Structure 1
Amino acid sequence: MLRNIVAIFMLWLLVGIAGGAEQPSERPPTVSKMVAQLTIDGPIGPATSDYVGRALEQAQARNAVLAIIRMDTPGGLDTAMRDIIRMILASPFPIVSYVAPSGARAASAGTYILYASHIAAMAPATNLGAATPVAIGAPGGNEGKPKPRDKDDPSAPRDSDDAMSKKMINDAVAYLRGLAHLRGRNAEWVEKAVREGASLAAEEALAMHVVDIVAPDVFVLLTKLQGRRVDVLGRAVTLDLTGAVVEAIDPDWRSRLLAVITNPNVAYILMMIGVYGLILEFYNPGSIVPGTVGVIALLLAMYAFQVLPVNYAGLALIIVGIGLMVAEAFAPSFGVLGLGGIAAFIIGSVILIDTDKMPGVGLSWSVIAAFALTSLMFFGFAIGLILRSRHKAVVTGREELIGAVGTALENFTEIGRIHVRSEIWTARTEVPVHKGQRVSVKGLDGLILSVAPSEDRKELEP
C-alpha cells in the first residue's frame, strides 16, 4: 500500500515538472527592441570617453538595435574625441548623434562626433561648428585661432600661422573631411568650420546636408528613423524601430568621479595636497590626519594622471623644486635654494601636462602661482618652525626637572623634602642640606630626586 502511494506521488511530481518545463515554450517571453540613450552634457574629456565606451558595451550586451548620443557640448579634448569616434566607427549597431534639447550646441569636438555618427540629428534652435582646434590652457589662449589676413595682401599668410598651428588646422580639416566622405555629408563646409570657425543653426545644417534629421524630441526622431538605411561596418542595415523602447544609460559613480578629478587643475591640486600631507606627517609622526588625507589625495591624483598626458620631466622638476625649498628650511642659503626651488616648481607645473598630445588642456596660471607662493611659505616658514622647535629645550615631563632649582623644606643628610616647580618632592642628597637652602636637581630615580646644594645665590623660593 505504501509503495503504491509513493509511486503515485512520484508520478504526479514528474507530470508537474514536465508540465512546468513545457510552459515557457508554449508562451515565449516578448523581448522589446532596445534603443540605448547616452548623454554628453559639458566638455568632452577622458571621463566622457570612458562613459561612452562603457555605455556602448552595455548596450551591445543587451542587444540594442540603436544608440542615441544626446549632446550639448562646447567641445573638449582631441584624444577623448578621437576615442569616442573610434568607438562609433567600430560599433556593430547604428549610432545617432542628436544635438538636443533646444538651445544646445555641438561645438568643436561635438561637430567631429556628429560627423562620425551613422546618423546626425539636431533639435530646432541648436547649432554646431566652430571646429577650430584651440589650445585653451596655453598662455593667452589664442594658439590655433586664425587671425584676419592682411588687408593689403589677402594672400599673405596669417601672423599666427606658425608650423604648429598649421599642422593642427590641416590635420583637423583632413580628419573632418574623411568623416564627411565616409557618411556622405557636406565636405566643403567642414573646412570653413575648421579654418574660419563657422557655425550653423539646425535648419541651415539640414538644408546644407550637414545633418540628416531635425527633430524636436527623441520620439519624433525615432519616427523619422523608421525604415532608414544606414551603412554599419560595410553592410546595409534598415532600421526597424517598431515597438522600440528607449532606455537611458547614465554615467556611473566611476565616470562622475573621473570627470571631476581628470580636470588637470583638480588633479594638480590633489597632488599638491598629497605632497603637503605626507611631508607634514613625516615631520610630525603620529599626527595621522595629514598622512591620511595626503595618501588619499595622492592616490586620486595618480589615478587622474594615468588618463592625462603627463610630462614626467615636469613632474621631476616639481619634485626638485619642493626638495630645494625644503633644503632652504634646513640649510638657509640667503634665498638661493628657495628661489631655485620656486623656479623649478613653476617650470615643472607649466610643462606638467603635455599640450602637444592633448590640445585644449593645461594648468591655469592662477593655480600655479597660488601653489608656488603657498609652497614657498609652507616650506620656508612652517617647516622652519618645526625644525626650530626641535632644537628647543624640553619644557615638560621628566627631562624638564633636570637642572631645576628648588628649596629644601627641612634639614636632612640623606633623604628629605624639597619644593621645586610648585610641587613638593622627596629628595636624596650626598651632602647635608639645611632648611631653606637652594638645591639643584641632578637626576631622577622613580619619584625621588637626586639633589645637591645649588650655587644659585638668588632669593629663596616662597
Structure 2
Amino acid sequence: MNLAFVEAKMELLLNANVAYVLLVLGVMLGFMALIAPGTGMLEVGALFALALAGYGAYNLDINPWAFVPLVLAVVPFLFALRAKVWRAPLLLATILLAAGGSVFLFRGENGAWIGVNPFLAGVVALFSSGILWVMAEKSLAAMHTSPTHNPDALLGQVGEARTEIKDDGSVQIDGELWSARSEKPIASGSAVRVLRREGFILVVEKMSK
C-alpha cells in the first residue's frame, strides 16, 4: 500500500469534524451493544470507531473536562436498562450528556471551546439521538413486556375444546389456540380447565356441570 495514501488517511483523522463523527459513532454503537449484547459486531465496531476517534483526540487540542459528561452518560443509560417508569427521562439525560461531551471535546483554533462545525454537530447530534431514542425505546420496552404467549399464565383458566382431546387436540383460551391433551377423552365444544403444562402443551380436564 502506498505510504503517502496511508499518511493522507491518517491526516484525515486529525480533522476535528471527522474525529467528532467517529466519536459519536463509537458511543452510539457502544450503547447499542449494551442494549443487544452478544453479537460481537456492535462491540467491535464501537471499539474501532473509538480507537480512531482516540487517535484524533490524542493529536488534537481537547477540553479534558468534556470527558466527564461522556463518562457520566453511561450512568443514566444503565439505569434506563432496568427502569420502567423513568426510562424516557433517563434516556434523555443520556443523550444530552453524550451529545454535550462529544461536541465540546475538540477545541477550535485560537483556544475556541468548540472545534466542530456547528451545523455538522447539530445534524449529527439530532440524527444519532433520534436513532438511539427509537432503538432504545423499542428494545427496552420489549425487554420489560411480559410475553403474550406465556403458558404459565393460563394455569387454572377455563377455555373451550376446539377439537376432540385425548392424547392431543386443541383448546381456545382467551382467544388463543393451544395444543392440549387430557387423561380422559373430551368432546369438541366442551368447557375445559387448564391443570398444568408440559412444555407448550396444556394438560386440561373437562369442566363438571
Give the TM-score, by structure 1 length.
0.35
Measure how far apart 1:301 and its partner are: 1.5
Structure 2: which amino acid aligns with 1:295?
Answer: L
Structure 1 residue aligned with 2:86: 332
Measure how far apart 1:269 and its partner are: 0.9
Measure how far apart 1:365 and its partner are: 0.7
1:147-191 superposed Cα distances (whole Å, 9 cap, x missing partner): xxxxxxxxxxxxxxxxxxxxxxxxxxxxxxxxxxxxxxxxxxxxx
Measure how far apart 1:324 and its partner are: 4.7
Secondary structure of the corresponding residue to residue 351 of structure 1 = helix
Measure how far apart 1:364 and its partner are: 0.9
Structure 1 residue aligned with 2:170: 419
Structure 1 residue aligned with 2:22: 270
Structure 1 residue aligned with 2:163: 409
Kept in 2: contact 1:325–1:380 (CA 8 A): no
1:113-170 superposed Cα distances (whole Å, 9 cap, x missing partner): xxxxxxxxxxxxxxxxxxxxxxxxxxxxxxxxxxxxxxxxxxxxxxxxxxxxxxxxxx
Structure 1 residue aligned with 2:58: 306
Structure 1: which amino acid aligns with 2:46?
Answer: G
Measure how far apart 1:298 and its partner are: 1.8
Distance 1:420 1:393, change over 3 A: farther
Structure 2 residue aligned with 1:260: 12
Counterpart CA distance in 1 for 2:207 and 2:140 is: 33
Counterpart CA distance in 1 for 2:86 and 2:179 is: 44
Measure how far apart 1:318 and its partner are: 3.3
Measure how far apart 1:294 and its partner are: 2.2
Structure 1: which amino acid aligns with 2:121?
Answer: I
Structure 2 residue aligned with 1:212: none
Kept in 1: contact 2:196–2:204 (CA 8 A): yes
Kept in 2: contact 1:325–1:376 (CA 8 A): no
Kept in 2: contact 1:349–1:363 (CA 8 A): no
Matches within 5 A, 1:356-375: 362-375=115-128
**Does structure 1 residue 281 correspond to structure 2 residue 30?**
no
Counterpart CA distance in 1 for 2:207 and 2:170 is: 14
Counterpart CA distance in 2 for 1:438 and 1:296 is: 61
Distance 1:443 1:366, change over 3 A: farther
Structure 2 residue aligned with 1:66: none
1:68-107 superposed Cα distances (whole Å, 9 cap, x missing partner): xxxxxxxxxxxxxxxxxxxxxxxxxxxxxxxxxxxxxxxx
Matches within 5 A, 1:229-244: none
Secondary structure of the corresponding residue to residue 59 of structure 2 = coil
Structure 1: which amino acid aligns with 2:140?
Answer: L
Structure 1: which amino acid aligns with 2:119?
Answer: S
Secondary structure of the corresponding residue to residue 168 of structure 2 = strand
**Does structure 1 residue 384 correspond to structure 2 residue 137?**
yes
Counterpart CA distance in 2 for 1:279 and 1:454 is: 52
Structure 2 residue aligned with 1:17: none
Distance 1:377 1:350, change over 3 A: closer
Measure how far apart 1:327 and its partner are: 5.7
Distance 1:400 1:298, change over 3 A: farther
Larger RCO, structures 1/2 (Cα 8 Å, 6+ apart): 2
Secondary structure of the corresponding residue to residue 161 of structure 2 = strand
Kept in 2: contact 1:264–1:363 (CA 8 A): yes
1:234-280 superposed Cα distances (whole Å, 9 cap, x missing partner): xxxxxxxxxxxxxxxx7444312212222111111111111111211
Structure 2: which amino acid aligns with 1:314?
Answer: A
Measure how far apart 1:381 and its partner are: 3.2
Distance 1:452 1:265, change over 3 A: farther
Give the TM-score, by structure 2 length.
0.69
Measure how far apart 1:375 and its partner are: 4.3
Kept in 1: contact 2:192–2:207 (CA 8 A): yes
Structure 1: which amino acid aligns with 2:26?
Answer: G
Counterpart CA distance in 2 for 1:443 and 1:267 is: 59
Kept in 2: contact 1:326–1:380 (CA 8 A): no
Structure 1: which amino acid aligns with 2:30?
Answer: L
Percent identity (aligned):
19
Matches within 5 A, 1:187-226: none
Please list every run of 5 or more consecutive structure 2 residues that lacks an aligned counterpart in the other structure: none
Structure 1 residue aligned with 2:42: 290
Structure 2: which amino acid aligns with 1:407?
Answer: A
Structure 2: which amino acid aligns with 1:293?
Answer: G
**Does structure 1 residue 445 correspond to structure 2 residue 187?**
no
Matches within 5 A, 1:35-54: none
Distance 1:454 1:425, change over 3 A: same
Please list every run of 5 or more consecutive structure 1 residues that lacks an aligned counterpart in the other structure: 1-249, 456-462
Structure 2: which amino acid aligns with 1:362?
Answer: G
Q: Report how many residues are paired.
A: 198
Measure how far apart 1:387 and its partner are: 1.5
Distance 1:290 1:314, change over 3 A: same
- Structure with more helix by fraction: 2
